[in-house]
Amino acid sequence: IITGDGENEEVYSTEDCEFAAKKRKKDHFRNNTDSQCFYREKWIYVHKESTRERHGYCTLGEAFNRLDFSSAIQDIRRFNYVVKLLQLIAKSQLTSLSGAAQKNYFNILDKIVQKVMEDQYNPRLIKDLLQDLSSTLCILIRGVGKSVLVGNINIWICRLETILLWQQQLKNLQMNKQVNNGLTLSDLPLHMLNNILYRFSDGWDIITLGQVTPTLYMLSEDRQLWKKLCQYHFAEKQFCRHLIPSEKGHIDWKLMYFALQKYYPIKEQYGDTLHFCRHCSILFWKDTGHPCTASDPNTCLMPVSPQHFIDLFKF
């Protein structure tokens, strides 16, 4: 290959060109992996013992990459699961995050906020997460010198400012009005609307839907609806201790639900969760699978709640 003209022309051999091409590919791959690690297999070994072969595979930062949480938030079935997981980390695990885990955590958080801003999907959930995160950071930053936050304090102050900015953006979020000339929610018969309300497992979702139309408000105030919700989330012994009668002498199940929520955890419900194989000690998304060596893999699977996920990475 000849380049240039006259005295400045240079001759490159085939070997030089191949070397340059390989270097460009290597640099391109390095740049991509620096910004986002990509793994074909979306599963991770989880072992309590630290060995030379498995060192690095049992950290939260590595799990964020290996399980591809950045893509998981784009799946409506997994969105709530990932947000709940980040919320639990914000409440209790910030001080244990390594530098890589911090970077991955806030990258995923940024993508979640942008998704909510663009799609207006479940803003209440992310508002709760940011509130817990900002509260925890304020406490830890005030106690600088006593806390064990990994990284420069100025970086954490910048992150707190970013969180406060996100909170303001979500506060000013205007829901787009859907233009639809076809069938709307209000056109559905009462029994179908009632059936929809009975599908909700969160009391705030029922209240929010009840604000749409007077008919939905009437259905959302049904005592039987709130009684079913209490029975779903709490044991009979629990709500028997906190009976709240109404003025007419009946039990106010709606107030009961929110009163019990302060004392007891509610059942978590997700469209999709991570699973753990007890035989292989592998954590994975169920629909992606993993290389199981058990004779009957289904008997070894165990769904993993967000809290259980964090417990797996505690040492």
As a whole number of angstroms, the distance between CA 97 and CA 107 comes to 14
Least confident of 22-31, 88-97, 131-140, 232-241: 22-31
**Mean pLDDT (whole number) for 21-46:** 55
Query: Is the pLDDT score of 38 beyond 60?
Result: no
User: Please, what is the average pLDDT of the chain?
Assistant: 78
The CA–CA distances, whole Å, from 123 to 86, 116, 126, 183, 185 equal: 15, 6, 5, 25, 21
**Mean pLDDT (whole number) for 219-233:** 91
As a whole number of angstroms, the distance between CA 224 and CA 134 comes to 38
Q: Which two tokens stand for residue 6?
A: 């006259």
* Predicted local distance difference test score (pLDDT) of residue 237: 80
Question: Bigger pLDDT: 245 or 296?
Answer: 296
* Predicted local distance difference test score (pLDDT) of residue 60: 76
Least confident of 158-167, 175-184, 210-219, 305-314: 175-184
Residue 278 CA to chain centroid, in angstroms?
24
Q: Report pLDDT digits (tens) over 148-185.
A: 677 778 888 889 999 999 999 998 887 666 666 677 78
Percent of residues, the chain, with pLDDT higher than 90: 18
Query: Is the pLDDT score of 109 beyond 90?
Result: yes
Name, of 67-71, 94-98, 220-224, the range with top average pLDDT.
220-224
Q: Which two tokens stand for residue 191?
A: 């029994």
Task: Say if residues 47 and 86 touch (Cβ distance below 8 Å).
Answer: no
- Nearest Cα to 100, choosing from 42, 140, 59, 161? 59
Query: Is the pLDDT score of 83 beyond 70?
Result: yes
**Mean pLDDT (whole number) for 100-127:** 88
Query: Is the pLDDT score of 191 beyond 60?
Result: yes
